[in-house]
Amino acid sequence: MSNPSNLHVTGTLIWYYYICHREVWLMARNVVPDQDNPNVDLGRFIQDQTYQREKKEISFGNIKLDIIKKGKDGLVIGEVKKSSKFEASARMQLAFYLSELEKAGLKARGELFFPKEKKREALELNSELRAELDSAVRDILRIAYLDQPPEPMKCKWCKNCAYAEFCWA
């Protein structure tokens, strides 16, 4: 398998980085997870059926924003997730989107939405998040250009992972 060409770090790669580095390598190489996995289907369903009054799936450069709206104090972007189990990943993915918008001259604040839990979390980009993102982006690029994927490591997320067969078959 050759190295990925024209690789752009995306919110999806940021998300996977905080869950599994092997998934980062696979996604960067366009290895598609099992599309029949029930968790993939559930995520799509939640994405399609929640917050229907909000504008959804707006593409901006190499990012896709779930929700974009005008708030009381300016632009608000939102990220919809099926569960807060991956809250750290979701927070960093949203921070990445805020950073990308900021680089393009757009100031925004973010909100994480967990509709099944009826939970929201506000997020503003700060210097700590910027530093963590810079480090994560550098490491994602390092992982993506490895000749071989990182070795699989069993973790609590493996049992529902759409890549489970690739790692454990």
What is the radius of gyration, based on Cα positions, of the chain?
16
Please say whether the beta carbons of 116 and 83 come within 8 A. yes
As a whole number of angstroms, the distance between CA 64 and CA 57 comes to 6
Q: How far is CA 29 from CA 47, 143, 146, 159, in A?
A: 25, 11, 11, 22
CATH number at residue 23: 3.90.320.10
Number of domains in the chain: 1
Q: Is residue 74 part of a domain?
A: yes
Q: Is residue 25 part of a domain?
A: yes
Summarised one tens digit per residue, pLDDT across range 115-165 is 889 899 999 999 999 999 999 999 999 999 999 999 988 877 777 777 777
Q: Is residue 6 part of a domain?
A: no
As a whole number of angstroms, the distance between CA 157 and CA 136 comes to 20
Residue 163 is part of which domain span? 11-168
Q: Is residue 5 part of a domain?
A: no
- Dihedrals phi, psi of 64, to nearest 5 degrees: -125, 120
Q: Is residue 29 part of a domain?
A: yes
Summarised one tens digit per residue, pLDDT across range 1-38 is 445 666 889 998 999 999 999 999 998 988 876 555 44
